[in-house]
Structure formats: structure tokens, C-alpha cells
Structure 1
């Protein structure tokens, strides 16, 4: 599969960000490179494994990577570094293992039972298959390679 220019830039940004983030005790969750309202953005989402990420963490990472990313991209852009939020994306197999028991929303590449979008509880993850309970006692087996996009779903408590 040949990569397009945007994918090449994303991969190069990942190669810049990952070692710097890891040296700071952060892990890279996702990168977006997109145009929004006439402006270009590089959005980098990072987290800490067992504690909250701070504004200072994000600012420090931004300062360390800004110049290298600036050399990579020809047009003007805004660099944003933040946490992925409570409805964080699920990008790797390790994410599904880590968030077993949590509610997630998955968008698939191809329809299953006339639907591409499913929401349910992550029950398990084995051999690159995600087990998602979509109804009580109804578990779907979804190959990781079929997932186009996925994220956690936060449920607000009712008072």
C-alpha cells in the first residue's frame, strides 16, 4: 500500500513526537493533521499511564517538538498538544486490552448486519479480534483490521 503525502507527514510527525514524549513519561495516543476553517492544524494527543496529564506537560512537549515539526511542514499551521479526553480514541490492540470492561463506539470499514457503527462494552481482545457486547449476552467478534475508527464512550451519571 502506497502512502499519500498526508500519511507520510503523519508518520514523520510520529517519529519526531514518540521518542520525545516517551523521554518525558508520556505516550502518544493520536496525531491529526488537518485543515479546519482555512487553517492547518497539527493536533497531538498524549497521556500518562496512571496519572492525569497537566497543561505543563503539554506545553513542555510542544516546546520540544515545535521546531522539528515546523521544518517538516511547508505551510503555516497551528500546533496543539493535549490529552485525548475522556472519550479517547482506541488506536492500538493494547488500547482494547487496557480498556476492557469500558464502553466503546466502533465504526467499521464494511457493513455487518447492514450496519457499520456499533456501541458496546469491550469484553475481550484475543488474536487481533475485539469482542464487543452490543446487547446483554450478544457479543460481536470484530477483527481489528476491520475497525476504521473507535473511541471510548463516557456515560454521565444521572442524579
Structure 2
């Protein structure tokens, strides 16, 4: 089992959602971002400790060599990766970078309209665009502080 699958299986088995995994260049530090969708208050320190303890045990059994394991909430500017996330966060502001330019642009920011038929809808200042889900390189929520 590869490391990503191992982490996802463990995190989801504990009742959390795996948002993202980051690895240091030589894989010595593993950062795992989790969410608790059914919990109004989001992820807290106890959630992170629970996941950290379980992953540490699993890594020992599976002989995963690492120096440091960090567990964190995704934060207000969370990464949006899965099609379900683009549905879940519709109505929120988002920043999207695409691989192949559309109309000479690779970066878009606006209100997320959702996901349908392999496309992500986005309301910009003056118009709306549909971006191919497969063409999205990075997407991140933009928190509103008003």
C-alpha cells in the first residue's frame, strides 16, 4: 500500500476527511491536513492528537521511515481538490490556477458556483467562466473578513 492510501485509509477510518498531504523533499517530514465535516467547530487539538497517535502506530507497523509527523486543520484558506469539495464550498470565494491557459489566463479568482459535468463554475467580477476540472492545477478558498 502506498503512503497516500495508507494515510487516507487511517484518517477516514477514524471518521475524518483527508484534505491534503505534504511531504518534505526527502520525505522526512509528513504534513497531514484533516477536516471533520460533521463537526461545526472544525478540527481541534484533540482531533489532531488522535490522528497523530494512530498514524504513528500505523507507520511503525508498516515501517514508514520519517522524522516528523504534523497533523493540522486545513485552515480558512483550505486547499480544494476533490469534485465534492467544489460542490460543498459553492458560494465561497476561491482562487484557481489552471494548467493550460484559458483566454490567455491561468489564474482566476471569484465566487465558486459549483461543479457539474466535469466543469467548475466561477463568477468573476464581470462575467462567469467554466473551467475544466481536469485542467485545475491548484485551488484554494479565499477567506472573507467582512
TM-score, normalised relative to structure 1: 0.81
2:137 maps to what in 1? 148
Contact 1:106–1:118 at 8 Å: present in 2 too?
yes
Q: CA RMSD, aligned part only? A: 1.9
1:69 matched to 2:59? The reply is yes
1:43 maps to what in 2? 31
> Per the alignment, in what secondary structure is the counterpart of residue 32 of structure 1?
strand
Shift of 1:33: 0.9
- In 2, distance between residues paired with 1:23 and 1:69? 15
Per-residue Cα deviation, 1:4-29 (whole angstroms, up to 9, x for no partner): xxxxxxx8222222232223221111
Structure 1 residues 18-97: aligned runs within 5 Å:
18-35=8-25, 40-51=28-39, 52-69=42-59, 71-73=63-65, 76-97=66-87
> Per the alignment, in what secondary structure is the counterpart of residue 140 of structure 1?
strand
In the alignment, structure 2 segments of 5+ residues that lack a partner are: none
Shift of 1:142: 0.3
> Per the alignment, in what secondary structure is the counterpart of residue 151 of structure 1?
strand
2:5 maps to what in 1? 15
Shift of 1:128: 1.1
- In 1, distance between residues paired with 2:109 and 2:56? 37
> Per the alignment, in what secondary structure is the counterpart of residue 63 of structure 1?
helix
Q: What is the total number of aligned residue pairs between the two structures?
A: 142
In the alignment, structure 1 segments of 5+ residues that lack a partner are: 1-10
- In 2, distance between residues paired with 1:86 and 1:21? 20
2:121 maps to what in 1? 131
